[in-house]
Amino acid sequence: MANNIYIGVDLGGTSIKVGICDENGKLLHQMEGPTESEGGPEVVIKNIANYVREIVASSSYHWDQVAGIGAGITGFLDIKEGIVKLSGNLGWHDVPVKKMLEAHLGKTVKIDNDANVAALGEAWGGAGAGIPNLVCYTLGTGVGGGIIINSQIYVGSTGVAGELGHIAIVPDLEAIVCGCGQMGCLETVSSATGIIRMAKDAVERGDKTSLALVEHIQAKEVFDAAKQGDEVALRIVNRAAFYLGKSMATLAVVLNPQRFILGGGVSKAGEILFAPAREIFKRFTPEPAQEGVDIVPATLGNDAGVIGAAGLNLHR
């Protein structure tokens, strides 16, 4: 009998990526098409359905082999019911994606948020393949997270588990307000936004740094300056790594995962971020919770979303 295949959809504001995975999380085919979100939910859902049918038709697989379809979506979701409660970049409010797509395609559809889906992608077909218990950070504009327990995404009681960016990790006297309204969230220091803010603050107060000459500071410029020995940039990078490492120490005693995976744009900085983060992790984690635990970079890059979405029907 022919093997099952799994379809993943990465639904973005301007484009939709669709991929076919085998049962081991290997991405076999992928394509991309416009979202056309200005046409409203009906148009977008019809586009997704068309892309899904197209990619299967243009492959060597048959429609009968499609075991399920998953979609990763940015926004507030009712994961269980498959409803997008609110999505800023799509302009959606209470859209029953699961029901609409199932009506179009006649296959089981599951949805989940982008950070969870990226974590599942890495767990299934990337840096976490074969590891049942792991934690994945997405270090981008914000800090997202996904917790994988027994090879499944863990979503918690109301679907907000794994919001690692909102661990209140910065002590009160050094803390600033986060976008979520709380003080001292990890996201305020270990995201690209946090790193840029710290760099701009340093320049504004006249710290002696090469960053003063950069017109539009991005996180990459801060990492580059640090690599070239700029002390101010190095201090900022170490601060981002410190709280990242300390948050992993907390997760080690709470969740006892076997692996931490760091993905997203900020993780591309490499050893200048990983080395101090690993050192801080070691300093703050009791011996038994460190044993056999490693901290590794994500390997799937932008494909993690499509692959993880495809995995929703196997792993939740």
Binding site for a second copy (CB under 8 A): 132-133, 147, 149, 154-164, 166-169, 171, 180-185, 246, 249-251, 253-258, 283-289, 291-293
CB of 276 to a second copy, least distance (A): 15
- Residue 1 makes CB contacts below 8 A (sequence gap 6+) with none
Tell me the longest C-alpha to C-alpha distance in the chain. Answer: 69
CB of 307 to a second copy, least distance (A): 23
CB of 154 to a second copy, least distance (A): 7
The gap between the terminal CA atoms of the chain, to the nearest Å, is 25
CB of 86 to a second copy, least distance (A): 12
CB of 26 to a second copy, least distance (A): 25
Give 200 or 283: the residue with its C-beta nearer to a second copy: 283
Q: How far apart are CA 45 and CA 233, in angstroms?
A: 45
Which residue(s) pair with 134 in the sheet?
148, 259
b or e along 5-44 (b: 16 or more beta carbons within 10 Å of the residue's beta carbon)?
bbbbbbbbeeebbbbbbeeebebebbeeeebebeeebeeb
The bridge status of strand 143-149 relative to strand 134-139 is: antiparallel
Give 30 or 152: the residue with its C-beta nearer to a second copy: 152
Tell me how far the alpha carbon of residue 226 is from its chain's centroid. Answer: 25
Give 181 or 206: the residue with its C-beta nearer to a second copy: 181
- Edge-to-edge strand order for the sheet containing 76-78? 76-78, 83-87, 92-95
CB of 239 to a second copy, least distance (A): 13
Going by the DSSP 8-state scheme, the letter that residue 4 receives in this structure is P
Give 223 or 281: the residue with its C-beta nearer to a second copy: 281
Residue at 55: amino acid letter = I
CB of 140 to a second copy, least distance (A): 17
Q: How far apart are CA 143 and CA 187, in angstroms?
A: 5
CB of 285 to a second copy, least distance (A): 7
Looking up tokens 């075991």 gives 67
Give 177 or 275: the residue with its C-beta nearer to a second copy: 177
Phi, psi for residue 185 in degrees, rounded to 5? -65, 150
Give 187 or 303: the residue with its C-beta nearer to a second copy: 187
Give 135 or 269: the residue with its C-beta nearer to a second copy: 135
* DSSP codes, 7-71: EEEEE-SSEEEEEEE-TTS-EEEEEEEE--GGG-HHHHHHHHHHHHHHHHHTSS--GGGEEEEEE
Give 101 or 134: the residue with its C-beta nearer to a second copy: 134
